């Protein structure tokens, strides 16, 4: 009898483990994970696209954010001529250790221009250095200045239209950015850490929830432009996806919902 009870308990235990692992691996009929649902619910279908036409979309926010009343720093004209593209691609590596030599303003200027600078016009509207779904440009660019020659430490917003920096918070934020980046030291050691934020409604206005996917795709384009430009300037850089969202959003002063930090990028002297 005792043996039977032992066998039964063992059987129950093994069954529970099997059921739980099936749940974890998402067998047929199981509830999909958040990531799986996000992907499924933002997948394009003809019927979904038709239904989406009838769905109310958010109003289009301004494509340019500005900070009136802040100190403006004009950036040098971005006209640096660097390495051959093929050499830059071959040379690009993530660099996480920087020297204490400051960056120069022309380097910061060139990198910001590569990220989101205005490079021309299409149907009478300005277009930017990185491609964007529907030319709706959801991204804003902030710069945490740690070590740049003749530039006060602080948090700046990149004014795309004016190719200028707007000082939104003066101060030394090296510890804040490092702790918000899960203690990744390079964020505080770098000359600058660039924070790419997205205003989702710019893209949702046209593409609905599918637009959120486009936003994430676009961050890769911008980050790669920063990367390649940094290499061409002889600088080191790394893109950073691991950060505490709330801390970064609070640091920048954005709500994390309408506008949220998507990707970080450190750049410094090697």
Ligand X SMILES: Cc1cc2nc3c(=O)[nH]c(=O)nc-3n(C[C@H](O)[C@H](O)[C@H](O)COP(=O)(O)O)c2cc1C
φ and ψ at residue 51, rounded to 5 degrees: -60, -35
Any idea which residue has 């001529």 for tokens? 81
The smaller minimum CB distance to ligand X, of residues 14 and 217, is found at 217
Q: How far is the CB of 203 from ligand X (least distance, A)?
A: 19
Strands 125-128 and 118-122: antiparallel
From residue 154, alpha-carbon distances to 65, 119, 158, 214, 251 in Å are 18, 27, 13, 30, 11
Among the residue ranges 30-38, 77-85, 148-156, 235-243, the one whose residues contact ligand X (CB under 6 A) = 235-243
Among the residue ranges 4-12, 28-36, 78-86, 234-242, the one whose residues contact ligand X (CB under 6 A) = 234-242
Residues 159-188 that bind ligand X (CB under 6 A): 184
204 closest CA partner among 52, 102, 97: 52
Q: How far is the CB of 222 from ligand X (least distance, A)?
A: 12
Strands 164-170 and 192-199: unpaired
Q: Are 112 and 196 in contact (CB under 8 A)?
A: no
115 binds ligand X (CB under 6 A): no
107 binds ligand X (CB under 6 A): no
- Letter string b/e over residues 156-186, b meaning 16 or more CB atoms within 10 A of that residue's CB: bbbbbeebbbbbebeeebbebbbbbbeebeb
**Closest residue to ligand X, Cβ-based?**
241
Q: How far is the CB of 238 from ligand X (least distance, A)?
A: 5
Cβ contacts of residue 50 below 8 Å, gap of 6+?
none
240 binds ligand X (CB under 6 A): yes
132 binds ligand X (CB under 6 A): no
The single residue among 15, 30, 94, 152 that binds ligand X, judged by CB under 6 A, is 94
Q: How far is the CB of 232 from ligand X (least distance, A)?
A: 16
The smaller minimum CB distance to ligand X, of residues 44 and 217, is found at 217
The smaller minimum CB distance to ligand X, of residues 5 and 242, is found at 242
Q: How many residues make contact with ligand X (CB under 6 A)? A: 9
The single residue among 239, 248, 252, 262 that binds ligand X, judged by CB under 6 A, is 239
Report the alpha-carbon distance of residue 61 to residue 110 in Å, rounded: 27
Neighbours of 124 (CB within 10 A): 5
Q: How far is the CB of 31 from ligand X (least distance, A)?
A: 27
Long-range contacts of 78-86 (CB under 8 A, 24+ apart): 78/106, 78/109, 78/110, 78/113, 78/114, 78/117, 78/163, 80/106, 80/110, 80/232, 80/233, 82/229, 82/232, 82/233, 83/231, 83/232, 85/228
Among the residue ranges 8-16, 67-75, 151-159, 239-247, the one whose residues contact ligand X (CB under 6 A) = 239-247
229 binds ligand X (CB under 6 A): no
The single residue among 238, 248, 251, 262 that binds ligand X, judged by CB under 6 A, is 238
The single residue among 66, 76, 88, 96 that binds ligand X, judged by CB under 6 A, is 96
The single residue among 77, 91, 93, 258 that binds ligand X, judged by CB under 6 A, is 93
Task: Using CB under 6 A, list all residues that contact ligand X.
Answer: 93-94, 96, 184, 238-242
């Amino acid at each position: 009898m005792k043996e039977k009870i032992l066998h039964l308990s063992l059987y129950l235990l093994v069954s529970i483990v099997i059921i739980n692992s099936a749940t974890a691996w998402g067998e047929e009929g199981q509830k999909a994970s958040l990531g799986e649902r996000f992907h499924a619910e933002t997948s394009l279908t003809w019927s979904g696209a038709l239904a989406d036409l009838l769905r109310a979309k958010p109003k289009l926010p301004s494509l340019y954010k500005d900070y009136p009343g802040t100190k403006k720093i004009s950036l040098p004209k971005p006209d640096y001529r660097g390495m051959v593209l093929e050499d830059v691609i071959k040379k690009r590596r993530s660099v996480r250790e920087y020297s204490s030599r400051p960056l120069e303003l022309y380097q910061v200027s060139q990198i910001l221009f590569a990220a989101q600078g205005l490079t021309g016009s299409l149907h009478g509207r300005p277009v930017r250095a990185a491609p964007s779904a529907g030319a709706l440009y959801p991204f804003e660019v902030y710069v945490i200045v740690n070590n740049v020659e003749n530039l006060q430490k602080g948090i700046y917003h990149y004014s795309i239209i004016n190719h200028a920096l707007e000082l939104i918070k003066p101060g030394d934020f090296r510890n804040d950015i490092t702790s918000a980046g899960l203690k990744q030291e390079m964020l505080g050691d770098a000359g600058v850490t660039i924070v790419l934020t997205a205003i989702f409604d710019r893209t949702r206005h046209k593409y609905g929830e599918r637009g959120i996917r486009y936003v994430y795709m676009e961050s890769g384009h911008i980050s790669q432009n920063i990367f390649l430009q940094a290499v061409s300037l002889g600088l080191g850089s790394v893109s950073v996806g691991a950060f505490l969202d709330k801390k970064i959003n609070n640091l920048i002063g954005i709500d994390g919902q309408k506008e949220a930090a998507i990707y970080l990028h450190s750049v410094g002297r090697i």
